[in-house]
Amino acid sequence: MSTRRNFLQTMGLSALGVYAFNGLNARSVLTAAPVAGGPVLRVALMGLGGYASRVAESMQQSRRAKITGLISGTPEKLKSWGEKYGVPENSRYNYESFDAVKNNPDIDAVYVITPNALHHDQVIRCAAAGKHVICEKPMGLNAKEGREMVAACKKAGKQLLVGYRMHFEPLTLEIHRMRMAGELGAVKFFQGLSGFRIGDPTQWRLNKALAGGGALMDIGIYALNGCRYMVGEEPVWVTAQETKTDRVKFKEGVDETITFQLGFPGGVTASCLSSYNMNNLDRFFLNGEKGFAELQPASSYGPIKGRTNKGPLELTTDRPQQAVQMDEMAAIILDGRKPVIPVDGEEGLRDLVIIDAIYKAVKTGGKVKLV
């Protein structure tokens, strides 16, 4: 019991409050200490859309992150959000003027929550303005963009983090711990299913110019990223196949459904699916010689549910994932905390390299090797 508590607190789960893991014959309840005191990360939100609304609301429960700036192309949103979250007019910017955050001492970092195609230039501009950057996933449209973003932030001496909220989710981290501790034995197979039926055909996610792709970029990245941290290795090859049943809604360059397979140096294989045309796809399954672990749902906004060969895993918490993510990212930026599963720009870049390979495999129909 004490060993598990110490391990989870070391992983940075202390921000979560109370959480519980159920075994087959026993229940372990872990009450974690509050996040260590320290300075508050002052954050400007860029792109005031639907997900930014969730982030902003969740941040009201953050202990070490606060909204101190807003960036949007919609004046009405800047006004209403500014009034709602107490952001003064001199800390509200549009997309043309936001380089001026350079002169704003009340902003430490900018959280980029805009359409995928805008990430590259906006992240580079934020770094040049001397601010740390948190960028929603996918970090960019391709590996070339990702490398340029990482290089720009390094040159500016600023951190680049990616919004991988599941990297701080306790059941995810418990399965990661079990695999690392050898409790599942040698890993043999991973399955990741990520998808939903997308609605409004005019939204930016179905616009190649803004999204850079389709289901793979938006939802499939959960399965792709998940297989890497669940297996604990980097894949060395990929194969992939695309299925498209609605060519009006899913135009050229916007994938409806992609299945992809990955091979790992230790012999593990992964089979994943991403889709914009199927519901009930939110499952991770990790199989080892000694046991298995499953999350279903695996990447929703919660509650995440899990089980292993020993029984169910259960979580109790009153804190939204985004609040935990922002507190942990504050600790990374301000305290130098090292998360168990990385969330830095290099992590985001590795996903983009694999996404490039998946799209190449779809086009060629062959196996694409990863360097």
Q: Is residue 230 part of a domain?
A: yes
The catalytically annotated residue of 19, 111, 131, 137 is 137
pLDDT tens by residue, 82-129: 999 999 999 999 999 999 999 999 999 999 999 999 999 999 999 999
- Average pLDDT over the chain reads 91
Cross-strand bridge partners of residue 312: 307
Q: Is residue 337 part of a domain?
A: no
Domain count, the chain: 1
Q: Is residue 294 part of a domain?
A: yes
Name the least confident of 13-17, 47-51, 234-238, 362-366: 13-17
Q: Tokens standing for 220?
A: 């499939």
Q: Is residue 276 part of a domain?
A: yes
Q: Locate all alpha helices (DSSP H) within 32-74, ordered by sequence.
A: 50-59
Q: Is residue 232 part of a domain?
A: yes
What stretch of H or E contains 226? helix 221-231
Q: Is residue 260 part of a domain?
A: yes
- Cα distances from 169 to residues 9, 13, 240, 304, 341, in angstroms, run 13, 8, 29, 8, 11
CA–CA dist 130, 155 (Å, integer): 10
pLDDT tens by residue, 45-81: 999 999 999 999 999 999 999 999 999 999 999 999 9
Which range of residues forms the domain containing residue 197? 185-313+345-369
Q: Is residue 281 part of a domain?
A: yes
The catalytically annotated residue of 222, 229, 276, 359 is 222
Residue 137 is among the residues annotated as catalytic for this protein: yes
Hey, what's the torsion of the CAs at 53, 170, 160, 346, to 10 degrees?
-130
- Residue 266's CATH number: 3.30.360.10
CA–CA dist 81, 271 (Å, integer): 42
Q: Is residue 204 part of a domain?
A: yes
pLDDT at 146 over 50: yes
Classified as helix, coil or strand, 119 is helix
